[in-house]
Chain A
């Protein structure tokens, strides 16, 4: 069985600052990590490697320094790593990103394609499902657990808002994984020692199967109108009173501010 896992390098913080002029993320001084949902996906793939001797390929699209997350994936135990990087991909929104990844995936043979549900920097949850559409593959999003019958059928528990669904799907298919679904293993010491001597394949536009007009800024219909950091609010005042008294306090405050 061949598995491909899509991972993304993201800044390790929930308190991302935004440059107010350009509307882009300020990444300086923020350590980069494998996106948590993707890392759970990586663990899913590696557990299938443990049980079914699956061959695991990991792919990431990003600037050259995104290679670091591929090295980490090697240290966790993947078999092959591909860095998708090209000036033509720059400025991509989710659609152009998924086109580029789909272009690379057309060149790979797989039974299962794993992505994280969403990245903690963009939070769109769009790239995985878009890839499935481009490749015309069945998809199961919000995966919480996966069982494989050893032949071609996956039985998947899928989280929905008020419960879960059990689905069966045959490979090749696409799944998007929740970060809580699988606890990622630690890198092994020997994996770390060998990680930087392993080959990371660099793929650009020339290596993939995609229409150039679908890539980069030109292939991105999303336009950022404005980005801003939330202003700091004052701490406010906390009253621990019963509801009757609370109504009185609220009324008098509203009157005081001439709101009513």
Chain B
């Protein structure tokens, strides 16, 4: 067992920290305040290969590991959680399922564009009446000649409106329940496809979250992703991978809040001494730091297992559960350390607190993670 980073990982961290600090952090407050999708940041990340880290070189990716990918999402999220989720949803929920389930033609067609960042990707599973119970899909796909005709709507879709390609789940056989769900690769220009209203959110306000509307949307049969009726399993496995990304995002938010707090408690003086000199500060921060390091070990373990081709579903659930609850606790206490200043938008802590909450909800709520973990434990 070796916990030290490789030279490649150290070199990668040097680059991504530098990029996050100089290109992403300066925009974070503005992107949040204006609820603006940071298109320019995506354009800067694309040529560096950040939009295709775990995609093989032969499909135009960087050929990196999931460890590197998780480090990228963590470091970006430490300064701007919006940027972190753009990369995570694009990579884990769109490019990776095409890599893992796509035909060679689909990989050749979509991966180079996605990995290079020329195209942005998204994933449509959630519906108004199908949240945690994703099996209650109402979007239907009806076979018609060389096409499937999709009808229905999806909600809370990250990157929607800016994405060029969407993985969409739909019922091909309603009578079969979860065994009647199929995945499709839907391009934004397919007839009958449109993007609906944009959500106004508590946090990650720069990320685009909209409704997808399919009104007799024509999807060629060759765009079926994976096998007919195997969409539910594909979606669940895709979310297993996505959880590594969201766990890394939550970890990044926690680390970002910790970095700000360490700086603040050393500078802020009350009763003639820095508040870092108070044992209350020290003990609480020691506990938070321990949680952050534990969360990082879980995230890296899940990414490591995925890289090695081992089963990682439970590891990813634990990583996401623990990292997201850590993000909530750290940002909550970070505001307390900052006092009134922490409650204002002069400091980034209140944004981080708002951003943290979603990590307990999307790509499987904390309750779903507990179901996955307990399910494996008590099987």
Check A189 against B68 for contact (C-beta < 8 Å). yes
Asked if B152 is at the interface (CB within 8 A of a chain A CB), the reply is: no
Asked if A252 is at the interface (CB within 8 A of a chain B CB), the reply is: no
- In the complex, 28 of the A-B residue pairs with CB atoms within 8 angstroms, ordered by the A residue number, are A68-B7, A72-B14, A75-B11, A75-B15, A186-B19, A187-B11, A187-B15, A188-B47, A188-B49, A188-B62, A189-B12, A189-B49, A189-B50, A189-B52, A189-B62, A189-B72, A190-B49, A190-B61, A190-B62, A190-B64, A192-B11, A192-B12, A192-B62, A192-B68, A193-B63, A193-B64, A196-B7, A196-B8
Check B63 against A190 for contact (C-beta < 8 Å). yes
In the assembled complex, the Cα of A25 lies from the Cα of B72 at a distance in Å of 34
B72 contact set on A, CB distance < 8 A: 189
Check A193 against B62 for contact (C-beta < 8 Å). yes
In the assembled complex, the Cα of A192 lies from the Cα of B63 at a distance in Å of 10
A75 contact set on B, CB distance < 8 A: 11, 15
Chain A residues close to B by CB (< 8 Å) = 68, 71-72, 75, 186-190, 192-196
In the assembled complex, the Cα of A68 lies from the Cα of B47 at a distance in Å of 23
Check B8 against A195 for contact (C-beta < 8 Å). yes
In the assembled complex, the Cα of A72 lies from the Cα of B62 at a distance in Å of 16
A189 contact set on B, CB distance < 8 A: 12, 15, 48-50, 52-53, 62, 64, 68, 72
In the assembled complex, the Cα of A106 lies from the Cα of B292 at a distance in Å of 53
Contact with A along B30-70 (1 / 0, CB 8 A): 00000000000000000111101100010001111000100
A68 contact set on B, CB distance < 8 A: 7
In the assembled complex, the Cα of A189 lies from the Cα of B15 at a distance in Å of 9
A190 nearest CB neighbor, chain B only: B62
Contact with A along B11-27 (1 / 0, CB 8 A): 11011001100000000
In the assembled complex, the Cα of A194 lies from the Cα of B56 at a distance in Å of 12
Chain B contact residues: helix, strand, loop or mixed: helix
In the assembled complex, the Cα of A194 lies from the Cα of B52 at a distance in Å of 15
A194 contact set on B, CB distance < 8 A: 63
Chain A contact residues: helix, strand, loop or mixed: helix
Count, chain B residues at interface, CB 8 A: 21
Check B19 against A193 for contact (C-beta < 8 Å). no
User: Given the known A-B contacts A193-B62, A193-B64, are A188 and B48 also in contact in the complex, defined by CB atoms under 8 Å?
Assistant: yes
Check A186 against B18 for contact (C-beta < 8 Å). yes
Chain B residues close to A by CB (< 8 Å) = 7-8, 11-12, 14-15, 18-19, 47-50, 52-53, 57, 61-64, 68, 72
B57 contact set on A, CB distance < 8 A: 190
List 3 tightest A-B contacts by C-beta distance, closest first.
A189-B49, A189-B62, A190-B62
A67 nearest CB neighbor, chain B only: B7
B61 contact set on A, CB distance < 8 A: 190
In the assembled complex, the Cα of A76 lies from the Cα of B63 at a distance in Å of 16
A31 nearest CB neighbor, chain B only: B14
In the assembled complex, the Cα of A41 lies from the Cα of B68 at a distance in Å of 29
In the assembled complex, the Cα of A194 lies from the Cα of B50 at a distance in Å of 15
In the assembled complex, the Cα of A188 lies from the Cα of B15 at a distance in Å of 8
B53 contact set on A, CB distance < 8 A: 189
In the assembled complex, the Cα of A187 lies from the Cα of B15 at a distance in Å of 6
Check B11 against A71 for contact (C-beta < 8 Å). yes
In the assembled complex, the Cα of A188 lies from the Cα of B72 at a distance in Å of 12
B12 contact set on A, CB distance < 8 A: 189, 192
B52 contact set on A, CB distance < 8 A: 189
In the assembled complex, the Cα of A75 lies from the Cα of B13 at a distance in Å of 13
Known: A186-B15, A188-B49, A189-B52. 13 other contacts (CB 8 A): A71-B7, A71-B11, A72-B14, A75-B15, A187-B14, A187-B48, A188-B47, A189-B49, A190-B63, A192-B11, A192-B12, A193-B62, A193-B63
Check A192 against B47 for contact (C-beta < 8 Å). no
A186 contact set on B, CB distance < 8 A: 15, 18-19, 48
In the assembled complex, the Cα of A189 lies from the Cα of B18 at a distance in Å of 13
A187 contact set on B, CB distance < 8 A: 11, 14-15, 48
Give the shortest distance, in Å, between A15 (CB) and chain B (any CB).
Answer: 18
In the assembled complex, the Cα of A208 lies from the Cα of B373 at a distance in Å of 62
B63 contact set on A, CB distance < 8 A: 190, 193-194
A196 contact set on B, CB distance < 8 A: 7-8, 11
In the assembled complex, the Cα of A196 lies from the Cα of B15 at a distance in Å of 15
In the assembled complex, the Cα of A205 lies from the Cα of B7 at a distance in Å of 28
In the assembled complex, the Cα of A45 lies from the Cα of B72 at a distance in Å of 28
Check B49 against A195 for contact (C-beta < 8 Å). no
